Structure 1
């Protein structure tokens, strides 16, 4: 049953005949543009799915073409040609007779087509003395090849034609394949439907058909992972008025139990008779995040061959920001996190660089993500920086339905990162947004510490993703928080 038929049945079950007539009259007003406030849904994108559909080509460009220039092999034998000439004309073909003062061909020169010796060769371009003509087979060739040194930096991996500089900006240079017969272009062209083919005649630039490669020019200092402030608001954990146990209680309720700062202060005051303000809770969390950040990076350990990545959004001062998360597939630990105000390539590179920092040199890594083109672009960037063979591979899972075999195979890993995002949103929801970037980064850092070192997972046998021997004999969460801070300080 179609969607329209189900909708008609639903209308008939909810409305009377007179009400349905009023609905039809209202719909007619919309169709005849008599109601300026209501417009039908635009189906342009449904009819043109490939229109302005940007994606990063999966294959990296070649630095050297696979095809090798080879000298032409002789296709004829000069002796056979001389014999056939003598048989046809009744006399042998005489060698070249030079005039007085005319240039002589070097004795070592031979025709590349029939291997005729220098006696049957002569210069065909006068005083230039660069072009030779064979009297036996008529082949025209250059005595010395005058090839300019190749200035091509990249070649198309599909047709091996040279890529030209299409667009150049401060942070990126875009190279493009200009071969209209490239198999990659023909494949993309065959995916267009009839409407898209007609539209491509007028707006060809709006369809990505040819192979493109983006070379980013980020400096090493731009790829450093940001960290929370060392002493936010002048708070030093070594000089606070409360002991480690109270600090552990603050982090337990604020981070592990996902309470707001105000509710954390209320619980401490009502249950434990500990009088601290909600601002003190925020200050303690921000100060502890600086130590936990370095602790997270130092104790995350090795990573699995397969990881998943996605972004979760939060609001800082009313504006949307994005948190990049990378999670390992087997031990379920968060291997990287990064807060940025965009979903562009640079934050993806920063997070991905940290996620794969502890990988083995010969480890083949696979990253599963959604259709965000920042991830394959970041993979190309990191593979280009690697001194060894490219070790990062990308697998894409798009939408909620498995439309291809790749989505069906890697769907469970995409669901893994989605569950992590839901857990993260549960922990940041009580904050109702943040007033500063450092406050948001502090809670993100503490959440990762809780998730990796303190939160047991049922699929891991109720063990934490990263097991620390120092925490085995500690039974309370506040004690574990205090121990982590003592190890990180």
Structure 2
């Protein structure tokens, strides 16, 4: 018995010594704190949007006027520069900002290229004497951004300062494996501050464009009721133009071609669109945005929707052949125009994680329209933001499914005008004619003139009449 106890004691001491060695190994080799680098791949930084740069604006000046002002203040003329260096300023060199001649220019760096104007205090390079009224400066280090790339709608500026805090912090976040890959393939990573300057002003583009190919409302062979029937079958029931023409013949014994159905749709879209786009929806402070794809002549296009998440009305929409920031801004402009007074930080704008919405937010900030952008990323609630705002994203996804129901029967659009026509009519139907469970199976926006009409073709005719009255009132105003 004593021998067994002594063996157990020795074995316990052996186990304790092993445990102590394991603890020492853990303390020496496994740090308690998490590593400095982020486990998220830094390659995704290419899809992020950095904050706005510091924008310095310089006005074009006249050196003669500045010299007169100097003499009026100090009572004497400003003396020219006495050049004592080995590299005098050439006689053909002038200040790009005020036009001062070479006698008022300092060689500021001992012949290395930089000059200083004594009249307006501008520093510029001798080789690049073109005056830039706007200069972009990095908000982290204060260095001037350099233009690197020319894109279709914007120019890319980058901070190339190796001591920039943004660049140094990005380097620290790299894991050893990512840092080794960065040394070999730097183009795969975005570690420096980048700003995109848009060359197209999307805030001056007309939002009320009319579709081409529309016909007049002179009904020679058919009545306005036939046009209402065409819109009911084509828009409400989601039939194609050929199926609509066949339904009119088989049900109503009306012989009409699918081309005439298409012309009626284009005419209705051109008339109804101004009324729908300028209606006072009285939007709430919760907006949701998303984009979905369509096919036009077999090529992928995109439809952008911005809707009131509480009242369910579509406030902004746009069709584009590219999934970039331009149409995103146009759809958001159309939605924001529904506010009589822009609410700013008081309302929530919810979208997915696509970076075009971040770029659009930056452009609105430049036009003094600041708001909070909330991005719901992924399909599951893996973070507090997704958990809180998932319901807003689901509402806009439900709208996309409703739109796809009317789109899928067309097997893609045959032209750009056809896609614009169909989307405009869909928005008019969705906002003013379609019954919704949210409003107890009534339209989202009730019009007194439509409530007394019992059938849908008559409602379409009345909506077109109201739109005509709106257009006439706008023209007389």
1:411 aligns with 2:390: yes
Q: Pick closer, same or farther for the CA change 1:394–1:180 going to 2, 3 Å.
A: farther
CA contact (8 A) 1:310 1:417 kept: yes
CA contact (8 A) 1:161 1:179 kept: no
2:157 and 2:411 mapped to 1: Cα distance?
A: 44
CA contact (8 A) 1:383 1:391 kept: yes
Give the 3-state SS of the residue equivalent to 1:210 in structure 2.
Answer: coil
Q: Which residue is 1:161 aligned to?
A: 142
1:426 and 1:172 mapped to 2: Cα distance?
A: 36
1:481 aligns with 2:473: no
How do 1:250-269 residues align onto structure 2 when only pairs under 5 Å count?
250-269=230-249
Q: Which residue is 1:378 aligned to?
A: 360
Q: Which residue is 2:270 aligned to?
A: 290
Q: Which residue is 1:391 aligned to?
A: 370
1:402 to 378, 381, 388: 381
Q: Which residue is 1:195 aligned to?
A: 177
2:381 and 2:440 mapped to 1: Cα distance?
A: 30
Q: CA offset at residue 332 of structure 1?
A: 0.7
Q: Which residue is 1:91 aligned to?
A: none
Q: Pick closer, same or farther for the CA change 1:59–1:470 going to 2, 3 Å.
A: farther
1:171-203 CA deviation, whole Å, 9 max, x = no partner? Answer: 423333445565654554455444322211222
1:224 aligns with 2:206: yes
Q: Scaled by the length of structure 1, what TM-score is found?
A: 0.66
Q: CA offset at residue 288 of structure 1?
A: 1.1
2:403 and 2:458 mapped to 1: Cα distance?
A: 23
2:441 to 453, 462, 473: 462
Q: Pick closer, same or farther for the CA change 1:205–1:419 going to 2, 3 Å.
A: same
2:448 and 2:169 mapped to 1: Cα distance?
A: 55
Give the 3-state SS of the residue equivalent to 1:238 in structure 2.
Answer: coil
Q: CA offset at residue 306 of structure 1?
A: 2.3
Q: CA offset at residue 300 of structure 1?
A: 4.9
CA contact (8 A) 2:49 2:355 kept: no
1:292-324 CA deviation, whole Å, 9 max, x = no partner? Answer: 211211215333322111111111111111111
Q: Scaled by the length of structure 2, what TM-score is found?
A: 0.68
Q: CA offset at residue 216 of structure 1?
A: 0.7
Give the 3-state SS of the residue equivalent to 1:419 in structure 2.
Answer: helix
Larger radius of gyration: 1
Q: CA offset at residue 267 of structure 1?
A: 2.1
1:306 and 1:60 mapped to 2: Cα distance?
A: 25
Using the TM superposition, name which of 212-221 and 269-278 deviates more: 212-221
Give the 3-state SS of the residue equivalent to 2:42 in structure 1.
Answer: coil
1:55 aligns with 2:47: yes
Q: Pick closer, same or farther for the CA change 1:277–1:206 going to 2, 3 Å.
A: same
Q: Pick closer, same or farther for the CA change 1:361–1:191 going to 2, 3 Å.
A: farther
- Total equivalences in the alignment: 359
1:29-85 CA deviation, whole Å, 9 max, x = no partner? Answer: xxxxxxxxxxxxxxxxxx984326522426333447xxxxxxxxxxxxxxxxxxxxx
1:424 aligns with 2:416: no
RMSD in angstroms over aligned alpha carbons?
A: 3.0
1:343 and 1:283 mapped to 2: Cα distance?
A: 29
1:304 aligns with 2:296: no
1:401 and 1:192 mapped to 2: Cα distance?
A: 27
Q: CA offset at residue 352 of structure 1?
A: 1.6
Runs in 1 of length 4+ with deviation above 6 angstroms? 149-152
Give the 3-state SS of the residue equivalent to 1:431 in structure 2.
Answer: coil
1:462 and 1:187 mapped to 2: Cα distance?
A: 55
Q: Which runs of 5+ in 2 are unaligned?
A: 1-38, 57-117, 125-131, 469-477
2:331 to 351, 361, 371: 351
1:348 and 1:445 mapped to 2: Cα distance?
A: 17
